Every structure is written in C-alpha cells, then in structure tokens.
Structure 1
C-alpha cells in the first residue's frame, strides 16, 4: 500500500482484515484528497461503485425468501416494458439487426447472463447505450425512467447463452422498488443498513461523512469511465470528482449496480453478515442456506467458458459467478493465491472485498482510483495475505 502511494498509483488506501470474526489487521496510508493534503483514514468515505451489487443481490434474495417471487420469474412479471424482447443476431453490426428472444429471468440478471451490457464494453449494444447515455449514473433521470429507456433496446445476446458484465443489477434494484413498494434507498436503509448498524452507507454522501469524503482519481486522459477510448495520461493521479462538487452529494438516481458511498468499517459489517450466514447484530437478514446458495457457482463452468467480451472486475479463468459476486473454482487456474469457494467483488474505483470460507477470513480494501483495471493490486493483496498466514 505504501509502495502504491510512493509510485503515485493510488492517492491513498485503507485495508481491514478479520479472521474468525475478529479484527486482525488494519492499515491506512496516503491521501484521500491530494490537493488539500487530507489523509486517507479508516473512516474515509468512498465511492464503492459495483460493491453495491452484492447488497442489491441480498435485497432480492430477502424478498425471494418471503415468497414474493422465484428466480425463474421473467423480468416482465415486474417490469412490463421488458415484454416482447429482442436480441442482436450473432455478428450483428447494427442495433436494428435483431431477432425475437425470451425475456431474461431474475437469476440471469443476478449472474450477468441476461444479455444486458454496459456502455464501456465493446459491441453494438454498448455503443448504443453510450450514444443514449444509459449508464445509471447518480445524476441520471430517476431509476424508473432510465430502466424504461434501457428496455427499449435489444439485448446483446439471447439470455443464458453468454456472460457479460452489465447494468442488470440496476434493473434488479428497480424490481426491489416495485415488489417492496419502497424506493431503493428506503429499502436499503430500513431492511439492510439499520439491522447491520451501517450508519455511514447511503446513495447520498452521509451528512456525517461530508468532511471525510474522498476525491476520485484516474491515470487516464478523457472520461475514465469510457474504457474503450480512455488512454494513459502523464498525470497518474488526475482528479475527476471533487468531494465538494460530486454527483453523489445529491443523486437523482439510486443505482443498485454502483451508487453507494460507504466507509471501511461499515462495509465490513455487510461482509461479516455474509460470512456469518445472514446474521446481523440487529437481526437475521437471510438464512444460512440462502447465503450458501448465493455464494456457489451458478454458471455451467467458469466465466471464461461463456465467451465474455466485457470488462470484468475479476479474473475469468477458474472463476465462476454466484449471486452478487464471483466464486473461485480453481485458484491454480485463476493464478492468484486463494481458496476454493472464495466469494468476492470489487468496484470501479479499485475497492475490493473477499470472503475466504476455508480460512474463515474476510477482507475489505478501499481506495479511490478509476478504472479498477489500472493495476493488479487485488491479486497482489491476496498473495500478501496468504503469504502472511502460517496457520
């Protein structure tokens, strides 16, 4: 971590490790705001982006446990705008070159096999999403309207035939709203954050955290979210989102795929709930059986076998995908020290968490550099942690 700061790769970072539910290590270094010379500390508030996805996935499974739907249910059962779906034909070069297809179901949304995509992926659909500005940013139109605009586009492929990282978890966030009758922010606050004691996690930068909110940096020129076009910059730490002007101060869209702000200890409460089989200090969120179901591989093989062409937060070889995160099937094929069954996910600003069920270990890492593919810090961190364990 110190080396990454010294080499101007990350502005600053913080890591927290638990073993058997007890804290065993914490370290913070560098700056949360280089321009103001403010340190990156344990209680620094950060954009967790796609680490929002596991929380939305938990919300969906909480509703499923109540018998309100099953995972084979098509999206159109809740969002009628997704009826009569079409998918791009194989090899299509135009957004109009489509054929009829089935509507994706909830499990396909949860596992990124729905046929949806992201604007920063390669391909016809991502280019159209980029042209129409459909990315579920915090300052976009409200979730309902953006979801309807997405539904008007064809899928990149027929559901269940490929794996592609996508806005599918944002669609699930909208389904949480429809089924529960609450907006996503209210559902998270009342049903998940309150029982967990997560008082500094929200779609808005929490009022108590505004003076601890980090700046966001990138080593790329141009828009750091346009991964297909962004190029390296001579300034490896160019600020792209100032804390006092951030779109997360007053968001208009609650993105279940990437909209939350959190702190290191707050997010560890969520990760520890997953490790504990759904148990929180304020009550049980999910059953242990549901958590085991979520953290097993839901693909036929690894992600690589499903022909992905998309950006991904994790290695694809030797890695499967559960509900809300990736699952290590074979550490040797992944090429990173770990255990079979490791469950993890990260965010675009290079944040990361993982749960090792064999070692009974949980880890949360925060920094603020986008994109997360800039440096191999996650693999290096796992190697260091495994090298430090002797029992």
Structure 2
C-alpha cells in the first residue's frame, strides 16, 4: 500500500484556504484515512458568516445525497434477512405504484404516455427506474416542480409524497435509461413499510448506534444546535436549479441559516437527501463499508453493492439529468458511483472507487486499492458551482507515493 508525501498532502490546506479567501466557500473540512488510520485532516473558514463562528471538526452539516448510501445499506440489510429481493416490483410495498405508465419517446406533455412495467427495487437503487427530480430537465421534472413533489423540509409525509408521485408517469420505461431521481427517497418509504418503523429509527437501531454516529440524524440533534452550519449559494435565483441561473453579486448569499433551518424540525425523513452529521461520523460509515461491514452487514453484500450494476458506464444509459459525478467512465452500484476508467472519467482514482456527493458540495469516496476513505464537507448549493471535487481528487492522488 502506498503512503503519502506529506508536503504534497499539505497542499490541500492552501487549496482550501483559497476557496475561503475568495469567498467561494464559507468554510470547509477534509478528512483522509488510509488503512483505518487518519492520514490528514484540515478545516478552515466559518460555519456561519453572520455570527463569525469558525468551521470546526465537530461542525454539523447537511449531507444531502450522501444520505443515499446509508439508505441503500439499510435496504440491503433487509435483503440479507430475506425480507426483500431486488427484482421485487415497487408495488409490492407501495400499492399506488401498480399499473404504471411512462412517457412515450419524444413526449412533449405529461399526458403522452404508454403502459410500462412497475420499476423494481434494483432499478430504484441504480437510478434506472424512470423516476426523476423536479430540478431535472424534461417533461416529468417540470411536472414534479410544478406540483412541488419533493422529499425535503416540512412538506407532507413520506407516504403522502410517494402516493402523489405515483400518479405521474415515469420518464421512461424502467431499465432503459439512467436518470438521477427521488428513487432513494421512495426506497426509504419501502424500508418504513417493511419494518413498521420511521426511517430514522431504523438508521439509529441498525447503523448509527452500532457505529457510534451520534451526531447524524434527520433532525439536528438538540446537543448539536450550536455546531450547525449555515448554508450558502452564489446564485441569485433558486439554488436547487441545475440549469442556467444568474449569479448573485454576493457569492455567499445565505440560503438556509443555522437558527431557522427546516433541518431543525423536518417533517419528511428523506432517504435520498435528509441527513445532517459530522465529518467524523461519516468516516465511521465509509470505513464500515470499506472494511467489510463492521458486523452490521455482510462483507459479500457490500462487495455486491460496490460493483457496477449497469451494462456499461452511466453515459451509455442515455442520461438527460443532473448528476453529482462524471458520467463517462463511471458506473453505478447500489447507492453510489463506481469508477470504471479514470481516464474516461477525467479524474484520478482507482478502478472500483465507490463515491457520491451532496447538493451542498459535500463529497466522499472509498478507494479499495489504496485503502482510502476521503470525506469533504462544506455548505454551498449547488454542488456544480465549482470544480472542488476533481481538484481534491487530484491533490490527494498527487500526494500518494
């Protein structure tokens, strides 16, 4: 196993500080572990610009879509117990998804549909289900945005939102394309149906308590209110749009403050993007995945999750949606992206890297070849604002000896 050149690794601090000095990020932290030992940690900047509070190691941040691997692990725990199989149709658990329709090829309105199969749990896990997001381009994304079908904040319940979504057609016949979607939110609801528990309670019982992830919850823990970061955007319009939006004159416009955030009192427990937590908590999760399950899930199940489940890379599946990662040279497993070809992905890495990120520019990857867990935390929406993720990959791989 290679080690690190310390001087090269220390370049990360200057790189992070430049983002803070240029007011691109308010604050940030990075944590690198190799072979189970901490190899590097650095933080800089502020967790709350208005109050001047520093970004620290125990800062609680919104991890958004880095929730998806947690939900995927929870679902696969149920598979290990024989409670589900991955080819089961979604309607077995949420009956309103029976008798599905999808948009016809070239559809220009939401009523131009044809009958199709109900997506399976495997198709939801791999974002090939035909579901979408309200910020995605296309007929379905537009309808979701107009009807405010979104699994976040204080808008309705998981069960209500799932049933509202089921009325809309799918963007395409399940299995025929790849589109980033609310599928993992729907899987969170499936977990609730199977277990009879709220999703957070399942996470606490099965993952958080066994791993000691005491600061990771859907609701900011009462003991961590004073450590909760504010979230910012450089955009003048909706920060949750990934299309063309005008930049704001203020590069750190506060979007979600630490004192009045919906994460202080969420109604929906979003399995696709609702968790908050600390960088050390998330390291416990990534290390569990990297080292074989820590006794909470089987190592063979994790190996199955962290392999490519698509026929090729994401690009070969005709994606038309936003994604957190490059689509060329990148496949998709159960809950995260898989590095197939670093050259085609245009990002340094090892074949088999498992990774994903969150809307607020957080990111992680697990490198099984170099025995790495790398986690980056900040709070800026959208994650497409700056090329921080490929830059961090280059810095870390450039430091390996």
TM-score range, shorter chain: over 0.9
- Cα offset, 1:229, TM superposition: 5.3
Distance 1:342 1:129, change over 3 A: same
Q: Which residue of structure 1 lines up, in the alignment, with residue 22 of structure 2?
A: 7
- TM value normalised by structure 2: 0.96
Q: Which residue of structure 2 lines up, in the alignment, with residue 45 of structure 1?
A: 60
Q: Which residue of structure 1 lines up, in the alignment, with residue 3 of structure 2?
A: none
Q: Residues 28-39 of structure 1 correspond to what in structure 2 (within 5 A)?
A: 28-39=43-54
Structure 1: state its 5+ residue gaps.
none
Q: Residues 284-295 of structure 1 correspond to what in structure 2 (within 5 A)?
A: 284-295=295-306
Identify which of 218, 225, 231 aligns with 2:233: 218
2:248 is aligned with 1:247: no
Identify which of 148, 159, 180 aligns with 1:133: 148
2:85 is aligned with 1:74: no
Q: Which residue of structure 2 lines up, in the alignment, with residue 384 of structure 1?
A: 395
- Partners of 1:104 and 1:187 lie apart in 2 by 24
- TM value normalised by structure 1: 0.98
Q: Which residue of structure 1 lines up, in the alignment, with residue 34 of structure 2?
A: 19
Q: Which residue of structure 2 lines up, in the alignment, with residue 267 of structure 1?
A: 282
- Cα offset, 1:139, TM superposition: 1.2
Identify which of 195, 207, 214 aligns with 1:199: 214
- Partners of 2:343 and 2:242 lie apart in 1 by 28
SS at match of 2:262: coil
Q: Which residue of structure 1 lines up, in the alignment, with residue 126 of structure 2?
A: 111
- Partners of 1:53 and 1:231 lie apart in 2 by 29
- Partners of 1:338 and 1:163 lie apart in 2 by 23
Runs of 4+ in 1 over 3 A off after TM superposition: none
Q: Which residue of structure 1 lines up, in the alignment, with residue 308 of structure 2?
A: 297
Q: Residues 126-205 of structure 1 correspond to what in structure 2 (within 5 A)?
A: 126-205=141-220
Task: Select between 222-231 and 235-244 the one with higher mean Cα deviation.
Answer: 222-231
Question: How many residue pairs align between the two structures?
Answer: 386
- Partners of 1:97 and 1:333 lie apart in 2 by 36
SS at match of 1:353: strand
In the TM superposition, what whole-angstrom CA distance separates every residue of 1:54-101 from its partner, at most 9, and x where no partner exists? 000000000000001100000001110000000000100110000000
Task: Select between 117-126 and 224-233 the one with higher mean Cα deviation.
Answer: 224-233
SS at match of 1:240: strand
Identify which of 62, 82, 86 aligns with 2:101: 86
User: Cα RMSD between the aligned structures?
Assistant: 0.7
- Cα offset, 1:234, TM superposition: 1.5
In the TM superposition, what whole-angstrom CA distance separates every residue of 1:255-278 from its partner, at most 9, and x where no partner exists? 000000100101110011001111
